[in-house]
């Protein structure tokens, strides 16, 4: 059976950093119900065999208005992100979903450790927003690596949250390549993990970032079932 698709209207276009853009869209026929961390599949009218399907995580939890927030970086020669960069307010998109299991674990009985590179922060930002909308929130450490200082996503928002909420810790890092991001992350993780009670790692980014970190956690004694990962490629 074909997956049900629906149309969404672009309400606004905002640049969050020099190379990351946000679209607020409104699905027209019906509101989309989703869990923080999930993604939608866009059907884009580009490529050699349109539609080109591209997944984008939802950056903001479900809202009464039904608006959805998509945040993406400009991929060099990327057909999908290139098309999204050409969209303007009033344009329409076709999408299906929500999909995905990169969502908050239940029960939440350990400290959550989010480790993300660049737009890998998008689903995590959604989960953090949902968690800290409540007075009681579990301990969370978010390590977010950006490719440059001016490409750190949601930096002010996360800094402010860390000031306001004692159970939220935020560690922003800058590393130009995925390889250097992995090395830097591991050097930061070692003192935070070794000899301490187990945390719940949730890793998001491209495979070149996520897979070596997952292997590192395995070597540190974590079972695959004790971590969650989302890869973008
Ligand atoms: C579950 C899921 C959720 C996703 N959520 C997001 C999101 O919220 N925001 C977002 O920007 N992207 C997200 N992506 C990636 C997105 O679907 C596209 O792959 C990305 O925009 C590149 O598509 P493209 O057609 O422009 O380039 P392509 O030509 O398809 O990509 C070229 C190469 O770029 C690399 N790549 C993939 N994703 C990215 C990326 N985001 N930044 C840099 N390089 C990348 C890969 O190595 C890929 O092989 C998600 C992917 C998945 C599977």
Domain ranges of the chain: 6-99, 112-231
Tell whether pTM > 0.75.
yes
User: Distance between CA 27 and CA 63 in Å, rounded?
Assistant: 12
Determine whether the shortest distance from the Cβ of 57 to ligand 1 is under 6 A.
yes
pLDDT digits 0-9 by tens, 94-105: 999 999 999 999
Closest ligand 1 atom to residue 54 Cα is: 17
Q: Which of 75, 117, 124, 125 to mutate to test the pocket of ligand 1 (most atoms within 8 A of CB)?
A: 75
Of 128, 178, 189, the closest CA to residue 154 belongs to 128
Question: Can you tell me the mean pLDDT for 130-150?
Answer: 96
Question: Could you tell me the sign of the dihedral formed by the alpha carbons of 102, 15, 11, 55, in that order?
Answer: negative
Atom of ligand 1 nearest to the CA of 99: 1
pLDDT tens-digit series, residues 24-82: 999 998 899 999 999 999 999 999 999 999 999 999 999 999 999 999 999 999 999 99
Q: Show the tokens assigned to 170.
A: 């935020």
119 lines ligand 1 (CB under 6 A): yes
Model confidence pLDDT, tens digit, residues 144-187: 999 999 999 999 999 999 999 999 999 999 999 999 999 999 99
pLDDT of 1 over the 70 cut = no
User: Domain 112-231 belongs to what architecture?
Assistant: 3-Layer(aba) Sandwich (3.40)
pLDDT at 194: 85
Q: Find all residues with CB under 8 Å of 81, minimum gap 6, and list them.
A: 54, 72, 73, 74, 75
Kindly state the tokens that stand for 229: 């990962």
- Identify the CATH homologous superfamily for domain 6-99: Translation factors (2.40.30.10)
65 CA distance to ligand 1 middle (Å): 27
Distance 233 CA to ligand 1 centre (A): 6
Q: Is the CB of 233 under 6 A from ligand 1?
A: yes
- Give the residue whose CA is nearest to atom 50 of ligand 1: 232
Torsion 147-102-171-178 (CA) sign = negative
């Amino acid at each position: 059976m074909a997956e049900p698709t629906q149309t969404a209207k672009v309400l606004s276009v905002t640049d969050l950093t020099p190379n990351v853009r946000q679209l607020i869209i409104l699905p027209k026929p019906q509101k989309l119900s989703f869990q923080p961390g999930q993604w939608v599949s866009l059907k884009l009218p580009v490529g050699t065999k349109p539609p080109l399907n591209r997944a984008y995580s939802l950056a903001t939890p479900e809202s009464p208005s039904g608006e959805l927030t998509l945040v993406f970086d400009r991929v060099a020669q990327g057909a999908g992100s290139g098309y999204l960069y050409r969209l303007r307010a009033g344009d329409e998109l076709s999408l299906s979903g929500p999909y995905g299991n990169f969502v908050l674990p239940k029960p939440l009985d350990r400290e959550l450790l989010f480790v993300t590179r660049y737009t890998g922060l998008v689903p995590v930002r959604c989960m953090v927003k949902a968690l800290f909308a409540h007075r009681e929130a579990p301990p969370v450490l978010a390590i977010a690596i950006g490719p440059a200082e001016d490409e750190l996503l949601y930096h002010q928002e996360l800094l402010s949250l860390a000031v306001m909420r004692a159970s939220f810790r935020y560690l922003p890092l800058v590393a130009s390549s995925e390889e250097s991001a992995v090395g830097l992350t591991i050097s930061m993780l070692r003192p935070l993990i070794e000899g301490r009670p187990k945390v719940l790692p949730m890793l998001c980014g491209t495979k070149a970032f996520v897979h070596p970190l997952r292997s590192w956690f395995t070597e540190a004694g974590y079972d695959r079932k004790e971590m969650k990962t989302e890869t973008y490629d």
